[in-house]
Structure 1
Amino acid sequence: MARRFAGKYSNKPPAPQDAASREARRPTILFLLPFLYAIIAFRSPPRAMLLGLLACGLMLLAAWLTREGVRAQLAYEARKIAQHPAIPHKLIAAVLMGVGLLLGGLMTQTDLVVPICYGMVGMTLHMLAFEPDPLTNKGMEGLTDFDIERVSRAVSEGEGFLTGMREAILRAGDASLEARVDHFASVARDLFRQVENDPSDLSGARKFLTVYLMGARDATAKFADAYAAMRDAKTRADFEALLTDLETTFAARSRALLENDHLDLEVEISVLRERLALEK
């Protein structure tokens, strides 16, 4: 994910993204533990082998659901306006983890008491470690379903373009350029948050969340392929200039919306439009 960029453009480092990345990786350990049951299963009699393989499968499913639940919660927390996840991934994962541990306990125990205790303890520890799924919507007071859907769709589309930029710049193989793209993404997300705070601002920001971010993604993809092949200094300088224009223009739009200032930004926008046209 993002790296700290200690240079000219580091006035707002993307440290929160680093924290989010670490949080999203936390469930990884859960994918390793179930294989202990699988290893033991293949060295056990048929009954124990069946129970061990079932335990392994359920715990792997629980690990996957936990990871998806953590990702859904991070996305929920990152937005001012958000609907709660449709599926309580982590709650289901906790139950499956408990059942998996119960079955694993039955591999060596004939009495149900100890395996049930394993399952209950495992389920409880899972819920404590990963917290409950968000169960309520937030920031939606006074908004109609139409407003919520419009903003959610626009922000999701914008996030998709930022993800495309991030994936594309990796092909350039340059950590400082990756940091520059991450910094622009943080500037763009300030605009996202402003629109979420006040959905009435969407009309003034829609082109930024769609047309300009789409152009930025396409320009990044073209640049990354060209730069990876030639390492041309001028090509790099032109791309960095584009990122500077993007940052400046998106920040200006965010300030204008925050101050409820509807002054024309056509000068900045025209420069950005010309830049994107040249990059295509």
Structure 2
Amino acid sequence: MMAQRYGGRHSPDSSGHDPAQRLTTGARLHRLSSRPKWVTIAAVPFLFSAFFQPPVGMVMNLAGFGLIAAGMWLTRDGLAAQAAYDARPTARAPAIPRKLFGGVLAGLGLGLGAAEPGAIAGAALIGIAGFALHLLAFGADPMKAKGMDGTDDFQADRAARMIEDGEAHLSQMLEAIRRIGDRRLEARVMSFAATVEDLFDQVRSDPRDLSAARRYLGVYLQGARDATRKFGNIYARSRDAQTRSAYEAFLDDLENDFKARSEKLLDGDRDDLTIEISVLRERLQREGVRPARDDGETAQLTSEDARTMDDLLSRNETLHSRKPR
């Protein structure tokens, strides 16, 4: 394999674009993602010793190794799902608790591989100990959604499907560019992907923005993918500088459009927050929550005063009764 030169903002002959610090087009890596491999390797003695056992022992050792390997495969997927969950401000819990099932399979495999005739209780204890060690080593699966209080489930599901399709388009874009073997172009597409991820985050945090971003998540990303594929096929043969400049200008324009849409959605959220605050202030003023004092200043409420609306209203009546008549 030929070595590839690293390119970045401060590298010679750099285009000035930062590679994306986070990219949704590939599987996110958990900090413990390498552990399942080592656990599987540690179970290899079951596999080798199986061929020196009687038929029953051979089957049990082979089954034990297979269960442990399957459990580690599930655990690795569970770690990837948790990494994606942790990286997002709003996310649903994984539909399948893969780490839990992986721990159960690993415990069963360990107990089965260590089982001996007449020692079923000991094998069961070994299996339980293996499950407990798995839980300590890899932790539990996320079991509840985060940042989605008050979100409509149907709209959130639609947004999740659109984002999943968009991430697939980005992945295909990156694959097409990687076939060219140009690190600068790859970094440019990664930078564009990071910009798109900002829009994904906006829609994840508030699925109501899906209607305003639908064209960007669907038509525009699909068009970018198709254009990237065509560019990759042409540029791989010709290495034409004009074609490359036209593609980079296309990415610049598209990235600016995505940035503008993200900023517009963010501004809309700020406007909604400002309106909600104004309405709440007006309502509190109508309820007499902030009565004027004799000296012209506004009464400040403390946490002890503001326990319930009835307490606030009764406090308002008390203050008015203290005014000189």
> Cα RMSD between the aligned structures?
2.7
Equivalent pair of 1:4/1:13 in contact (CA under 8 Å): no
1:70 and 2:79 matched: yes
C-alpha change, 1:249 and 1:126, in structure 2 (3 Å) is same
C-alpha change, 1:60 and 1:76, in structure 2 (3 Å) is same
CA offset at residue 235 of structure 1? Answer: 2.1
Question: Residues of 1 paired with 2:81 and 2:269: CA distance?
Answer: 34
Equivalent pair of 2:30/2:79 in contact (CA under 8 Å): no
Q: Which has the higher helix share?
A: 1
1:58 and 2:67 matched: yes
CA offset at residue 31 of structure 1? Answer: 4.1
Question: Residues of 1 paired with 2:192 and 2:107: CA distance?
Answer: 43
Alignment-derived partner of residue 141 in structure 2: 133
Question: Residues of 2 paired with 1:91 and 1:119: CA distance?
Answer: 14
Amino acid corresponding to residue 48 of structure 2 in structure 1: I
CA offset at residue 112 of structure 1? Answer: 4.2
C-alpha change, 1:47 and 1:261, in structure 2 (3 Å) is closer
Q: Secondary structure at the match of 2:48?
A: helix
C-alpha change, 1:47 and 1:16, in structure 2 (3 Å) is same
C-alpha change, 1:81 and 1:233, in structure 2 (3 Å) is same
1:159 and 2:167 matched: yes
**Counterpart selection for 1:255 from 259, 263, 284:** 263
Amino acid corresponding to residue 60 of structure 2 in structure 1: L
**Counterpart selection for 1:14 from 17, 21, 27:** 21
- Worse overlay, 182-191 or 161-170: 161-170
Deviations 1:147-198 (A, max 9, x none): 2122112211211111111222221122222221111111100001011222
Question: Residues of 2 paired with 1:34 and 1:231: CA distance?
Answer: 50
* Residues 25-36 of structure 1 mapped to structure 2, 5 A cutoff: 25-26=33-34, 27-36=36-45
Q: Secondary structure at the match of 1:42?
A: helix
1:195 and 2:203 matched: yes
Structure 2-normalised TM-score?
A: 0.71
1:183 and 2:182 matched: no
List alignment gaps of at least 5 residues for structure 1: 263-280
* Residues 78-89 of structure 1 mapped to structure 2, 5 A cutoff: 78-89=87-98
CA offset at residue 117 of structure 1? Answer: 4.2
**Counterpart selection for 1:105 from 109, 114, 138:** 114
Question: Residues of 1 paired with 2:247 and 2:32: CA distance?
Answer: 31
C-alpha change, 1:5 and 1:184, in structure 2 (3 Å) is farther
**Counterpart selection for 1:40 from 49, 52, 56:** 49
Question: Residues of 2 paired with 1:241 and 1:97: CA distance?
Answer: 52
**Counterpart selection for 2:179 from 149, 167, 171:** 171
Q: Secondary structure at the match of 1:259?
A: helix
Equivalent pair of 1:151/1:195 in contact (CA under 8 Å): yes
Q: Secondary structure at the match of 1:137?
A: coil
Equivalent pair of 2:60/2:113 in contact (CA under 8 Å): yes
Question: Residues of 2 paired with 1:59 and 1:86: CA distance?
Answer: 22
CA offset at residue 35 of structure 1? Answer: 3.2
1:95 and 2:104 matched: yes
Equivalent pair of 1:165/1:220 in contact (CA under 8 Å): yes
CA offset at residue 4 of structure 1? Answer: 8.1
Equivalent pair of 1:66/1:93 in contact (CA under 8 Å): yes
Question: Residues of 2 paired with 1:25 and 1:4: CA distance?
Answer: 25
**Counterpart selection for 1:204 from 193, 212, 224:** 212
Question: Residues of 2 paired with 1:139 and 1:191: CA distance?
Answer: 16
Alignment-derived partner of residue 272 in structure 1: none
Equivalent pair of 2:173/2:225 in contact (CA under 8 Å): yes
Q: Secondary structure at the match of 2:145?
A: coil
CA offset at residue 86 of structure 1? Answer: 1.8
Equivalent pair of 1:4/1:179 in contact (CA under 8 Å): no
Equivalent pair of 1:187/1:250 in contact (CA under 8 Å): yes
Question: Residues of 2 paired with 1:182 and 1:38: CA distance?
Answer: 42
**Count, aligned residues:** 258
